[in-house]
Structure formats: structure tokens, C-alpha cells
């Protein structure tokens, strides 16, 4: 495959395509459900958390990308070779737990949204289960049959629909410029019946994805992007992708803040859509539902396609103990396909759980990964012997340390409550 190193020969679309995939994968269930619920419970005062979440994810993903482009190794390869195999064995149970909850959350969100659009069941819980399973199987089929190229095309369509419809909905419900600016620049965590801290951390964890940021490295491998000359291209790509992510998250908090979500369980997103029908009319309800489903299904498709890369890497590096993984034909390998089937089928059991609790567990578990990744990047990207002149800059070190301090403070505050 032709390498992408010469910026003069690149079209804008080829530069930002992996960032779009990252944005589409990260802003599904996390931004839609968590941001809207947090907005409903906490209001506009937590808009700053969306920006912080997006910026933290940019710093982390840039660090991962810089490591890969300098060393030629994925993050997991670097962990295996530099930090030892014990780290991989500690990461595996986390990956399994995360996969179950994120898979269940995405299926639940797809099922609920489709039931709201096609209410063929009297009970919303039954609609969630049926449409959730159907969405998972369709995503599985697209990944198995279409490969990376079809995945790119379907994701591109979903990105356009979700971005336009959700942002337009937020503009139609605009609560006031003064209130929005205040929520952006003044960091406040409302008590909200003792749930303010957990929902704020969940919001930061949900914005832009968590474990899925590791998948960016595999996507740039798919398009042949490698070498230190591609670092600048990837930074532009990531800046565009995370700008979209932040804007989408802000839109969802604004939407949630304008209405009171009284639904519980499987009725939650339906209640949200019905609440929007009052100020916007029936077409506003459909506008939101179409954008919501596009966001959620693109996230599901992204997770189904990309997370098996991680397991295939773990299988090769920590179980078989081979020296290096290969991106060539990795999607045809047995570990990749087994994990793809597992993540598309096993989390169906989670459809029997409360939608709201699954979403919250998914985001909080994902947020735990962020400080762990920050520590790893401080170590891996901090040694000149490994990174040369591309070691962490002082500002990057400060941001990574701030990430650790923030999540440590949130954990302490939650513990003291």
C-alpha cells in the first residue's frame, strides 16, 4: 500500500479521514446518552467538562500516534517490549470488561433509538432487545463482508448525518449565549443529589471515547501512514476530529439542559425525543432521532471493526509471545475474527440490564483507563533513547500530569462524600 508521507500529494479528505473515524467511534453512546443525561441533571454548568474531555483525549491520542510513528510500534507493542508482559496480562481483563459494557451500551442505545423510530413493540424494553440485536448483527456483517473500505464509506455517511442533525437541534434549542459561555469558562460541579462528581467524570470519560483512542494507530496503518514526517499530518487530523467531538458533545449537553428527562431504563431516549417534540414539533423529534441513530450506529460499527485489533495484538504479544505483530491481513486472523464475533454477540446479555446504569458503568469504566494511559505515555514518550527529539514537550508533560491530578482529585472527592 502506498505510504502517506508527502503532504503535497494529500487531499484534505485523506488527511482527516482517520480523525473522522475516531470522532464517529467516540461520540456514539458516550456523548449521546451521557452528555444528554448530564445536561439534564447538571445543566449548562458542565459544558467545560466536554472541552476538557476533548482536549485530554487529543493529548493522549497525539502521544500514542507520536510513539507509533517514531518507533513503528503500536502502543501495545511498546508496552510489551518496554514495560513487560505483565502489563499486558493486567490489560486483558480490563479489555474484556470494557468490551462487555461498551457493547451492551451501544446495542441498548441502537435498540432504543430504532424502537422510538419504528415502535412495533408495545414494550420499549422488548424493542430495545430486538433492535439492539439486529443492529449488532448488521454491524457484524458489514465488518466481516466489507472490510476497511466499506467501513470507511458507511462511517462517512453516518458522520455527516449525525453532525448536522444534532448541531442543528442544539441551535434550535439555544438557551442563550451568556449561559453557554459561562458554562464553558467557569468550571463548576453541581451537587445534583450527590451525583455531580460521578456524572462529571462520566462526561469527561465519555467524550471522544476512551479505549477506542488506541484504535487510531491501526487505522493510520490501514491507510499506510508511517514515519516521523506523518506526525504533523496526524496532529492536523486529530485536531479536526476532536474539534468535531467537542462540538458534538456541547450540542448534546445543550439539548439535555433544555428539557427534563423523566424516563427510566429503556424509555430514557424515547422520553428525550418526546420532550424535544414539544419545543420543536414532530419534525424536530425525527431530526434528533435520525442524528442520534447515526451517531450510535457509527460508534457501534467503529468498535466492532477496531477493538478486535487490540485483542489480536494482545494474542500475538502477550499470549503467543511473538516478537512483533503485523498489520497486514490482521483482520483475516483468527484472534481478530473470534473477538469480533465475541464483542458482537456476548454483550447481548447486557440488554437485560438498565440502559441508564449500563451507560454510566461504560463511561466510568472507560474513564479509569485515561489516567493509566497518561502514566504509560509519560514513561514511553519520556525517554530520549526511545523517542529521540520527539520526546514529550514540557506542555505535554504538564497536561498528562494534570490528567492524573484531575482524576485523582475526583476520586478523592467521591471517596469523601
* Cα separation, 360 vs 30, whole angstroms: 9
* Cα separation, 176 vs 79, whole angstroms: 47
pLDDT, position 393: 92
Cell numbers representing residue 417 in the block: 462524600
Low-confidence residues of the chain: pLDDT under 50: 1-9, 264-266
pLDDT, position 379: 92
For the chain, the C-alpha Rg in angstroms (whole number) is 20
In order of 122, 363, 411, the CA distances from 51 in angstroms are 39, 16, 20
pLDDT, position 397: 93
Residue 392 · residue 400 · CB < 8 Å: yes
Cell numbers representing residue 170 in the block: 442544539
Buried b (16+ CB within 10 A) or exposed e, 15-43: bbbbbbbbbbbbbbbbbbbbbbbbbbbbb
pLDDT, position 413: 56
pLDDT digits (tens, 9 = 90+) for 266-286: 455 666 777 777 777 888 788
Residue 201 · residue 407 · CB < 8 Å: yes
Using a 10 angstrom Cβ sphere, with 0-12 exposed, 13-18 middle and 19 or more buried, the burial of residue 233 is buried
Query: What single DSSP character describes residue 300?
Result: H
Residues 6+ apart with CB under 8 A from 74: 68, 214, 217, 218, 221, 313, 325
* Cα separation, 275 vs 267, whole angstroms: 12
Cell numbers representing residue 95 in the block: 479489555
DSSP 47-107: HHHHHHHHHHHHHHHHHHHHHHHHHS--HHHHIIIII-HHHHHHHHHHHHHHHHHHHHHHH
Q: How far apart are the first and last CA of the chain?
A: 55
Residue 370 · residue 59 · CB < 8 Å: no
Buried b (16+ CB within 10 A) or exposed e, 189-220: beebeebbbbbbbbbbbbbbbbbbbbbbbbbb
Residues 6+ apart with CB under 8 A from 26: 57, 207, 208, 209, 212, 213, 245, 299, 302
* Cα separation, 166 vs 168, whole angstroms: 5
Domain ranges of the chain: 7-84+146-305+367-416
Residue 23 · residue 244 · CB < 8 Å: yes
Amino acid at each position: 500500500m502506498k505510504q502517506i508521507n508527502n503532504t503535497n500529494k494529500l487531499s484534505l479528505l485523506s488527511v482527516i479521514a482517520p480523525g473522522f473515524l475516531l470522532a464517529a467511534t467516540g461520540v456514539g453512546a458516550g456523548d449521546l446518552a451521557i452528555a444528554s443525561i448530564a445536561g439534564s441533571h447538571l445543566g449548562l454548568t458542565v459544558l467545560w467538562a466536554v472541552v476538557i474531555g476533548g482536549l485530554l483525549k487529543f493529548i493522549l491520542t497525539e502521544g500514542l500516534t507520536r510513539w507509533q510513528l517514531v518507533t513503528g510500534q503500536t502502543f501495545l507493542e511498546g508496552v510489551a517490549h518496554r514495560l513487560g508482559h505483565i502489563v499486558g496480562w493486567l490489560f486483558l481483563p480490563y479489555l474484556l470488561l470494557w468490551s462487555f459494557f461498551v457493547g451492551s451500551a451501544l446495542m441498548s442505545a441502537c435498540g432504543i433509538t430504532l424502537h422510538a423510530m419504528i415502535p412495533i413493540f408495545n414494550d420499549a424494553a422488548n424493542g430495545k432487545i430486538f433492535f439492539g440485536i439486529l443492529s449488532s448483527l448488521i454491524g457484524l456483517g458489514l465488518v466481516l463482508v466489507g472490510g476497511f473500505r466499506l467501513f470507511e464509506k458507511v462511517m462517512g455517511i453516518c458522520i455527516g448525518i449525525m453532525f448536522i442533525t444534532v448541531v442543528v437541534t442544539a441551535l434550535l434549542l439555544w438557551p442563550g449565549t451568556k449561559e453557554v459561555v459561562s458554562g464553558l469558562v467557569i468550571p463548576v460541579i453541581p451537587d445534583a443529589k450527590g451525583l455531580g462528581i460521578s456524572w462529571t467524570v462520566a462526561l469527561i470519560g465519555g467524550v471522544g471515547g476512551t479505549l477506542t483512542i488506541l484504535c487510531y494507530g491501526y487505522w493510520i496503518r490501514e491507510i499506510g501512514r508511517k514515519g516521523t514526517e506523518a506526525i504533523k499530518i496526524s496532529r492536523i487530523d486529530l485536531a479536526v476530529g476532536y474539534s468535531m467531538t467537542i462540538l458534538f458533545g456541547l450540542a448534546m449537553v445543550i439539548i439535555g439542559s433544555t428539557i427534563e428527562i423523566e424516563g427510566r431504563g429503556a424509555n430514557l431516549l424515547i422520553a428525550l425525543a418526546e420532550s424535544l417534540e414539544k419545543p420543536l414539533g414532530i419534525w424536530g423529534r425525527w431530526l434528533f432521532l435520525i442524528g442520534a441513530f447515526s451517531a450510535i450506529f457509527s460508534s457501534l460499527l467503529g468498535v466492532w471493526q477496531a477493538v478486535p485489533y487490540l485483542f489480536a495484538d494482545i494474542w500475538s504479544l502477550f499470549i503467543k509471545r511473538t516478537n512483533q505483530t503485523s498489520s497486514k491481513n490482521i483482520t483475516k486472523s483468527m484472534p481478530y475474527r473470534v473477538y469480533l464475533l465475541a464483542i458482537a454477540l456476548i454483550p447481548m446479555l447486557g440488554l437485560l440490564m438498565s440502559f441508564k446504569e449500563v451507560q454510566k458503568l461504560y463511561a466510568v469504566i472507560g474513564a479509569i483507563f485515561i489516567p493509566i494511559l497518561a502514566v504509560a505515555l509519560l514513561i514511553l514518550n519520556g525517554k530520549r533513547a526511545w523517542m529521540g527529539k520527539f520526546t514529550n514537550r514540557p506542555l505535554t508533560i504538564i497536561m498528562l500530569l494534570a490528567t492524573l491530578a484531575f482524576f485523582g482529585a475526583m476520586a478523592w472527592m467521591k471517596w469523601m462524600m
